[in-house]
């Protein structure tokens, strides 16, 4: 592969982009939380705040034609894959201008144009889908990668092990990205796994596997670029465990009885945006005016998304059965 895909050049433009992407997720979701308390957004809302470096770093390594399969904590992945903030916010509102026409909501964002395959709310249920997408690419001779995101809780599911085995056995171009935020909802990793090193489980399937600091966007990007380049070269699956932390509750209903406030505060001090901004400013990768401009751009994008969602329309109830099945066979 070319150097373009394997090296990370931390020039001003790239630093600005990384900050911008992480902030897009952060501000978008902060707005979602606010809208949730106003009851504009209902149902479950799972925020990714604290974990932004993972989606940001991985997405830098993907091409537009690569596929992404994500979980119910996927607003950031959808945004960075290229789904518009407008369409995502409208979906959160349940409006028909939403990226899933209001049928999916927060947990089921989909977008065919950017090859964003959900929005899967059964833990580990997306892994076999990713295996299948990659199998289709292999059988059709297409040079594309499928990136599949999931939490460490998925490692307790059979589908995790079945999928890793299939992808390794059949040499399929899948990048498995484990977002290890240490809690499966409220159950700590050490309370649910006999082996808490998730990357070691993946390695046991004869798959290239590594763990990185998921709070460090540059580390994630470097590892992702290396992994994706290897996948494109060899066709073989790769596993990346990103060790991270969720700053907010599991969902809006979670009183967080299972962890200490101090622990959350300690992790916030190591937050990916705080850390990267501080480093980049010190290292000369970013200037104060860059940060201000990026903040302003993001605020504008989020405000426009809210306006778009507010102006959106409700699908007529008569259309309830639309897309329950195909109109006719082809």
Q: Does 177 bind another protein (CB under 8 A)?
A: no
H or E segment to which residue 79 belongs:
helix 75-81
Nearer to another protein, 107 or 222 (CB): 107
CA angle 230, 157, 203 (to 5 degrees): 30
Nearer to another protein, 85 or 131 (CB): 131
Q: Does 117 bind another protein (CB under 8 A)?
A: yes
- Please say whether the beta carbons of 112 and 64 come within 8 A: no
Site size for another protein (CB under 8 A): 46
Q: Does 166 bind another protein (CB under 8 A)?
A: yes
Site string for another protein, 296-325 (x = CB under 8 A): --------------------------xxxx
Positions 129 through 148 that interact with another protein (CB under 8 A): 129-137, 139-140
Q: Does 261 bind another protein (CB under 8 A)?
A: no
H or E segment to which residue 240 belongs:
strand 238-243
Nearer to another protein, 113 or 185 (CB): 113
- Please say whether the beta carbons of 146 and 229 come within 8 A: no
Nearer to another protein, 98 or 214 (CB): 98
The rounded distance, in Å, linking the Cα atoms of 11 and 8 is 9
Among 50, 119, 153, 214, contact with another protein (rule: CB under 8 A):
119
Nearer to another protein, 6 or 165 (CB): 165
- What phi and psi, each to the nearest 5 degrees, are found at residue 208? -60, 130
- Give me 275's structure tokens: 């850390």
Q: Does 110 bind another protein (CB under 8 A)?
A: yes
Closest to 50 (Cα-Cα) out of 70, 80, 30, 79: 30
213: β partners: 243
- Give me 294's structure tokens: 């990026």
Q: What is the DSSP string of 86-118?
A: HHHHHHHHT-TTSTTTTSSGGG---BTTTTEEE
Q: Does 235 bind another protein (CB under 8 A)?
A: no
Among 98, 153, 173, 272, contact with another protein (rule: CB under 8 A):
98
The rounded distance, in Å, linking the Cα atoms of 211 and 208 is 11
Helix or strand or coil: residue 305? helix
- Give me 297's structure tokens: 């751009």
Binding segment (CB under 8 A) for another protein, from list 101-109, 238-246, 250-258, 264-272: 101-109
Binding segment (CB under 8 A) for another protein, from list 30-38, 108-116, 208-216, 299-307: 108-116
Nearer to another protein, 60 or 137 (CB): 137
Nearer to another protein, 158 or 255 (CB): 158
**Min dist. Cβ of residue 294 to another protein (A):** 31
Helix or strand or coil: residue 3? helix
Site for another protein, rule CB under 8 A: 67, 69, 98-104, 108, 110-112, 117-120, 122, 125, 127-137, 139-140, 158-159, 162-163, 165-166, 169, 322-326, 329-330
């Amino acid at each position: 592969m070319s150097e373009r895909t394997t090296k990370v050049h931390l020039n001003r433009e790239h630093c600005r982009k990384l900050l911008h992407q992480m902030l897009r997720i952060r501000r978008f979701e902060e707005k979602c939380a606010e809208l949730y308390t106003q009851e504009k957004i209902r149902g479950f809302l799972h925020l990714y705040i604290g974990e932004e470096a993972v989606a940001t770093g991985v997405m830098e390594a993907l091409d537009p034609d690569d596929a992404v399969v994500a979980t119910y904590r996927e607003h950031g992945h959808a945004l960075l894959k290229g789904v518009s903030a407008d369409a995502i916010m409208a979906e959160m509102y349940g409006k028909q201008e939403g990226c899933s026409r209001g049928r999916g909501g927060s947990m089921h964002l989909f977008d065919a144009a950017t090859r964003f395959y959900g929005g899967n709310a059964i833990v580990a249920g997306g892994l076999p889908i990713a295996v299948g997408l990659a199998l289709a690419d292999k059988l059709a001779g297409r040079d594309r990668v499928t990136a599949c995101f999931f939490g460490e809780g998925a490692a307790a599911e059979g589908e995790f092990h079945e999928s890793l085995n299939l992808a390794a056995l059949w040499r399929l171009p899948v990048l498995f990205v484990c977002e290890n935020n240490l809690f499966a909802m409220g159950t700590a990793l050490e309370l649910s796994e006999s082996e808490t090193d998730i990357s070691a489980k993946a390695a046991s399937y004869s798959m290239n596997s590594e763990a990185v600091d998921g709070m460090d966007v540059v580390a994630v990007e470097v590892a992702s670029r290396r992994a994706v380049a290897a996948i494109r070269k060899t066709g073989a699956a790769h596993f990346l465990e990103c060790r991270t932390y969720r700053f907010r509750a599991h969902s809006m209903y979670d009183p967080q009885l299972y962890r200490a406030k101090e622990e959350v505060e300690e992790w916030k001090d190591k937050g990916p945006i705080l850390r990267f901004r501080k480093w980049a400013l010190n290292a000369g990768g970013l200037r104060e005016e860059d940060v201000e401009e990026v903040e302003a751009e993001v605020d504008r994008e989020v405000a426009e998304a809210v306006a778009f969602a507010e102006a959106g329309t409700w699908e007529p109830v008569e259309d309830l059965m639309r897309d329950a099945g195909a109109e006719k066979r082809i």
